[in-house]
Amino acid sequence: MANKNTTSSKLRAALNTLIFPLISIVIAMFIAVFFVMWAEGENFFTATITLFQAIWEGSFGTSFSIIETLVFVTPLLFTGLANAVAFKTGLFNIGVEGQFIMGIFAAAAVGLIPGIPAVIHVPLVLISGMLIGALWAAIPGFLKAKVGTNEVINTIMMNFIAMFFVNYMIMGPLNEPGKATTPIIQNSAKLWRFLGEANRVNAGLFIGLLLVVLVYILLWKTTIGYELRAVGLNPHAAEYGGISIKKNIVLAMAISGAIAGLGGAVHVAGIQYQAIQLFGFTGFGFDGIAVALLGKSHPVGVLLSAILFGALNSSSLNLQLANIPKDIVYLIQAIIIIFVAADYIYKWIGEKRKKEAMING
């Protein structure tokens, strides 16, 4: 009996956490339909059908589109998890974008080294991405722990520094003559494309999925994770309990950056095979913020929302073919975050109900 009660209350708690992101998604889709109505001059029902048909066909409609969706999901797994680890420690790592870019650079550079067997080369490429990402994130972490400067500002600044640094390397020392890229990496550095060379989906997807499990274990089954979450929940209480705030801030940033850098390395070793000059941010890091927020910083939530965002991104091409502006999918994403950010509405409604219940007795 007692057992049954706990499972049902667990289920209710899970539903409560799920309901809010779901409502946000529904509202965002609803608003997007209005944009389609306006753009296409259609009525509500045709617009709804046009939009969802285009999104569905573009993301899961054919075997090719499913494969491409997985390609789009892969980097979001990494950047989403990277943001989630930081959020769980009470930090806001906007720098995931920059750490991802540094990972791209490291992989593109290390991948060029000739004469290493693949069993060593691939791990080397991935580890180099992780290390540089961890280092890039540990700097703002260290500055926060040591000097108390806001990690949000520092990571924003470091995104730009990373982009300019990597562009300099691509156009300078690592340049492929006559192109705005680095040379193609060695075959021994490439990740396995398990559905054949023509399909871009690669072993990076499994690394991402494995990481979902690993981050879950790290956060909930290890002492390190317990300390990180304790600092995130209440730093003062954590410190009173003998947990070092400073150490955990630097650690959380380094772990977050390592995941982001690994994502960048996987993107090079699995998809791009080279670093390409950036005229703006890749966007994977910022999408990762959205993915983590929507997924409530839980690895499973991150997985689900990475699939949603990856599907939306990969359907944008099909939208264009269907003559719907592709920006609709990005609008949907932005509106989802706006509503996720506004989750106080729900707390407010809950509190109001409680108060009314108290008054009405």
Q: Kindly list the residues in this chain that would bind another protein in the complex (CB under 8 A).
A: 35, 38-39, 92, 94, 143, 147, 149-150, 152-154, 156-158, 160-161, 164-165, 167-168, 171-172, 279-280, 286, 289-290, 293, 325, 327-328, 330-331, 333-335, 337-338, 340-345, 348
Distance, in Å, from the CA atom of 250 to the CA atom of 138, rounded to the nearest integer, reads 6
DSSP category for residue 268: I
Q: How far is the CB of 328 from another protein (least distance, A)?
A: 7
DSSP string, 176-236: PTTSSBPPPPPGGGSPP-TT-TTS---THHHHHHHHHHHHHHHHHHSHHHHHHHHHHH-HH
Choose between 94 and 269: whose C-beta lies nearer to another protein: 94
CA distances from 2 to 6, 7, 9, 13 (A): 6, 9, 11, 16
Choose between 4 and 236: whose C-beta lies nearer to another protein: 236
Choose between 67 and 157: whose C-beta lies nearer to another protein: 157
Q: How far is the CB of 239 from another protein (least distance, A)?
A: 20
As beta bridge partners, residue 181 has: 276
Choose between 120 and 334: whose C-beta lies nearer to another protein: 334
Instruction: List Cβ neighbours of 174 (8 Å cut-off, separation of 6 or more).
Output: 108, 109, 112, 182, 183, 275
Closest by Cα among 54, 138, 35, 41 to 95:
138
Residue with tokens 């999104």, as numbered in its chain: 55
Torsion, CA 186, CA 191, CA 194, CA 200, rounded to 10 = -80
Q: How far is the CB of 90 from another protein (least distance, A)?
A: 11
Q: How far is the CB of 147 from another protein (least distance, A)?
A: 5
Choose between 159 and 202: whose C-beta lies nearer to another protein: 159
Q: How far is the CB of 343 from another protein (least distance, A)?
A: 8
Choose between 216 and 330: whose C-beta lies nearer to another protein: 330
Choose between 147 and 357: whose C-beta lies nearer to another protein: 147
Count CB neighbours of 308 within 10 A. 21
- Helix/strand/coil for 5: helix
CB 249 within 8 A of CB 91: yes
Q: How far is the CB of 286 from another protein (least distance, A)?
A: 7
Q: How far is the CB of 27 from another protein (least distance, A)?
A: 13
